[in-house]
Amino acid sequence: MKVYTRKGDSGQTTIWGGRRLSKDHARMEAIGAVDEANAAIGAATALNLPAELDNVLRHAQGRLFIVGSELMAPDRTGSGSALPRLDEGDVAEVEAAIDTLELELPELRNFLLPGGSAAAAALHVARGVCRRAERRVTSLGRVEDVVPVVPAYLNRLADLLFVAARYANHAIGTADVVWSAEASRS
């Protein structure tokens, strides 16, 4: 299978079912942002994360492919009905992962600046990209139907990435970077 088809060179692309869309259509913006979030998580996993965290994030990456499928194939009739679906159980899995990771962390009492270790900084970048994906899906939902679990999943995944960044720091003994209003004024 070739990577290129030349069919998108005119600024149009095709989603499942044959519908043609402009590449800057709200649906394509949402799909692209989800792809960026997945790539950002992949970049973070290349930074020697603890195995338990790596496993959670790789699982989330697989789920982001399903999110992309939900967005790329909004009409689930015919052959589209065989595509995997996201459901509330996926959101619950992310919540359970957050709860498990938080058991190892000190209580959060302050706002944090993104950073600490390289892995934590990369996870904070992934969190920001995931929030952008959530916003793009929200924008899409204003003009077309979106499966309600998709924005919920992205919201919870961004929360997981925040906790994952803290966990990455904690696992190697690096302190989170606490935000100080006083230091911000100088």
Q: What is the pLDDT of residues 119-171, one digit of tens each?
A: 999 999 999 999 999 999 999 999 999 999 999 999 999 999 999 999 999 99
The predicted pLDDT at position 17 comes to: 80
pLDDT in tens, 92-115: 999 999 999 999 998 988 899 889
Give the DSSP H/E element, type plus range, for residue 70.
helix 51-72
Q: What are the two backbone dihedrals, phi and then psi, of residue 22, each rounded to the nearest 5 degrees?
A: -65, 145
State how far the alpha carbon of 7 is from the alpha carbons of 31, 42, 69, 118, in Å.
18, 28, 20, 39
Band (184; pLDDT cuts 50, 70, 90): low
State residue 183's pLDDT score. Answer: 62
- Which has the higher per-residue pLDDT, 92 or 23? 92
pTM of the shown model: 0.91
Given a cut of 90, whether residue 16 has pLDDT beyond it is: no
- Domains of the chain by start residue, with CATH: 22-74+82-181 (1.20.1200.10)
Q: 3: which DSSP letter? A: S
pLDDT for the residue numbered 185: 59
**Which amino acid, residue 44?**
A
- Number of neighbouring beta carbons within 10 Å of residue 149: 17
